[in-house]
Amino acid sequence: MEQRRRGLSVKKTIVFIFFGILLVTQLYPLLWLLIYSLKTNEEILSGSFFAFPAIWQWENYANAVGGGKYWNYLSNSLFVTSITMAGVIFLSSLAAFAITRFRWKYGQVVMLIFLLGMMIPMQGTLLPLMVIFKNMNILNTHLSLILPYIAFQTPISVFILSGFMRTIPQEIEESAIMDGAGVFRIFRSIILPVSVPPIMTVCILTFINIWNEYIMAATFISSEKLKTLPFGVYSFVSQYSVNYGAIGAFLVLGALPVIIIYFLLAEKITKGMVAGAVKG
C-alpha cells in the first residue's frame, strides 16, 4: 500500500512539473512583452531582456493609442473579424447539418472536398485572388478580405461541427418531424442550441486566425483608412528611428482582445473540443 502511494505521488509530481513548465512557457512571452512595452529604447537596446525598467514608461501606451491610430485599426479589425465569424458560423453550420443529418450519397464526397480545402495554403491563392478581385472591382475593400477569410476558415469549422452533429441522436429529429417541424425549424430550434459548445470553439479559432492575419491584408488593402490592427506597428518605424517601447505597447493592446475573449469563452471552448468524443 505504501509503495502504491509513493508511485502515485511520483506521478503527481511529474504531472505538476510538466504543467508548471507548460505554464511558464506560455505565460513568459506575455510577461516579457508587457515588461518590454514599459521600457525606454535605451533599456531595450542594452540587451537586458530580463530586467525591469528603471522607470515604468506608461506613456508608451499613450503613444500607441494616439500615434499608432489604434482605434481606427481596431474598428477595422473588429468589423472584418465579426463579419467573417458570422459568415463562417452560418455557412459551416448549414454545411455540417446537411452532411451529417441528411441521408444522401454525396455527403462523404462533400466532406472530403471540405477536408481538401484545409490543405490549400493561403499564400498560393494570393495572385489569382488579386486578379479576381480586381476584375470584380472589390480590391482595396474590406470585402476582399472577408470573402477569402470565410473560404479558408469554413473547412476546419465544418470539420469541428460535423464531428459533434454526428453524435446528436436521430430520435430527436424524428420526434420533431412527427410534430410537424420542417428542416429549417429542426436546424434552428434543435441542432443550433445543442451545438453551442462547438460553435464557441469555431468562434475563438476564427477570431484568433483572422485577428492576427497579415499577408492577405497587406496584399489586398492599400488604403490607410481600411487597414487592420497588425499594420499599426509600422506607425512607429521611421527612416531614422524606431520607437520599440510603443511597438511593444501596441502589440499588448492588440493581443488584449484575444486574451479577454479566450478567458470569457474558455469553458465553452473546452466543452466544444471534447463534446463529440464524450458523447460518442
Domains delineated in the chain: 10-57 (no CATH), 69-240 (1.10.3720.10)
Q: What is the pLDDT of residue 7?
A: 57
Closest CA to 203 of 267, 256, 261, 120: 261
pLDDT of res. 147: 94
Determine the Cα–Cα distance for residues 108 and 100; give it in Å rounded to an integer. 9
Low-confidence ranges of the chain (pLDDT < 70): 1-8, 10, 49, 68, 238-240, 266-280
Distances, alpha carbon 216 to alpha carbons 117, 211, 242, in Å: 17, 12, 25
CA–CA separation, 204 and 226 (whole Å): 23
CA 192 to centroid of chain Cα atoms:
21
**Residue 150 neighbours by CB under 8 Å, 6+ apart:** 84, 87, 88, 91
Give residue 149's pLDDT. 95
User: Long-range contacts for 139-144 (Cβ within 8 Å, ≥24 apart)?
Assistant: 139/220, 140/220, 140/221, 140/222, 140/223, 140/226, 141/226, 142/76, 142/79, 142/80, 142/83, 142/221, 142/226, 144/220, 144/221
Mean pLDDT of the chain: 82
3-state secondary structure of 181: coil
| CA-to-CA separations, 50 to 23, 29, 39, in angstroms, rounded | 18, 11, 11
Q: Which residues contact 99 (CB under 8 A, 6 or more apart)?
A: 107, 110, 111, 158, 162
Q: Which residue has the cell 491610430?
A: 69
Q: Which three cell numbers stand for residue 73?
A: 485599426
Query: What integer pLDDT is reported at residue 60 of this predicted model?
Result: 87
The C-alpha cell of 192 is what?
443550433
Whether the predicted model's global pTM rises above the 0.75 cut: yes
